[in-house]
Amino acid sequence: MQNDGTRSTYVLVDGENIDATLGSSILNGRPTPEQRPRWERVLDFTQRTWGRPTKGLFFLNATSGTLPMSFVQALLAIGYQPIPLAGEGKVVDIGIKRTLAALADRDGDVMLASHDGDFAPEIEALLGGDRRVGLLAFREFTSTQLSHLSERGLQAFDLESDVKAFNVTLPRLRIIPLDEFDPLRYL
């Protein structure tokens, strides 16, 4: 493994996947600004949880030839490196898969924000050594291919309850661990 002196945590964000899950599976519509994730909290959570500097990589589909510049500027301001990809097919997935494969030869921990089972082979290849590998997602929408990797050491974190990436409570129907159950929320 290549080591550049400081072991970092690489945070790879599949923004399309998180946005699509939030909009179609949780909100049943386009998220309002207050319902969108606060991406700086993802970096902060990762740094606090694993105690390493973070390098945020936010993958964007730029096949249309345009970029949401206000969003790109916000990402840059909070410490992400936007990666606008253009081409045929699922460019964001291909870019993330290539990046996960490249990380196999580098020191560093990896945190992926996605629900997509297409990344399971690359995530599985990162497991097993002293590297920490995590998943940031809505637990109930995580693919079974990724969920099963928890048996091999993949750590899963819920974007809402663990990361606290939202300013509002999302209208989710999820399994609640009994020690987290607050009956007042339902009264």
Per-residue confidence (pLDDT) for residue 176, from 0 to 100: 75
**Per-residue pLDDT, 3:** 45
The pair of structure tokens assigned to 21 is 């899950």
pLDDT score recorded for residue 165: 94
Say if strands 109-113 and 9-14 run parallel, antiparallel, or are unpaired: parallel
187 residues of the chain, pLDDT tens digit each: 444 456 899 999 999 999 999 989 988 888 888 899 999 999 999 999 999 999 999 999 999 998 889 999 999 999 999 999 999 999 999 999 999 999 999 999 999 999 999 999 999 999 988 999 999 999 999 999 999 999 999 999 999 999 999 988 887 777 777 888 888 877 8
Q: What is the largest CA-CA distance in the chain?
A: 54
CA separation (Å) from 63 to 89, 91, 94? 10, 8, 13
Instruction: Give pLDDT, residue 168.
Output: 86
Cα-to-chain-centroid distance, residue 56:
10
- Pick the closest to residue 109 from 44, 59, 57, 52 (CA basis): 52
Phi/psi of residue 135, nearest 5 degrees: -130, 130
Looking at residue 42, its pLDDT comes to 97
Q: How far is CA 160 from CA 26, 49, 75, in A?
A: 12, 15, 19
Residue 73 token pair: 């500027």
pLDDT of residue 12: 98
pLDDT of residue 102: 96
The two structure tokens encoding residue 147: 């969920």
Q: 9-186, what's its fold?
A: Rossmann fold (3.40.50)
Q: Which residues contact 33 (CB under 8 A, 6 or more apart)?
A: none
Quick one: pLDDT at residue 182?
Answer: 86
DSSP β-bridge partners for residue 168: none
- The pLDDT value recorded for residue 5 is 55
Q: Return d(Cα 25, Cα 136) in angstroms, integer.
A: 16
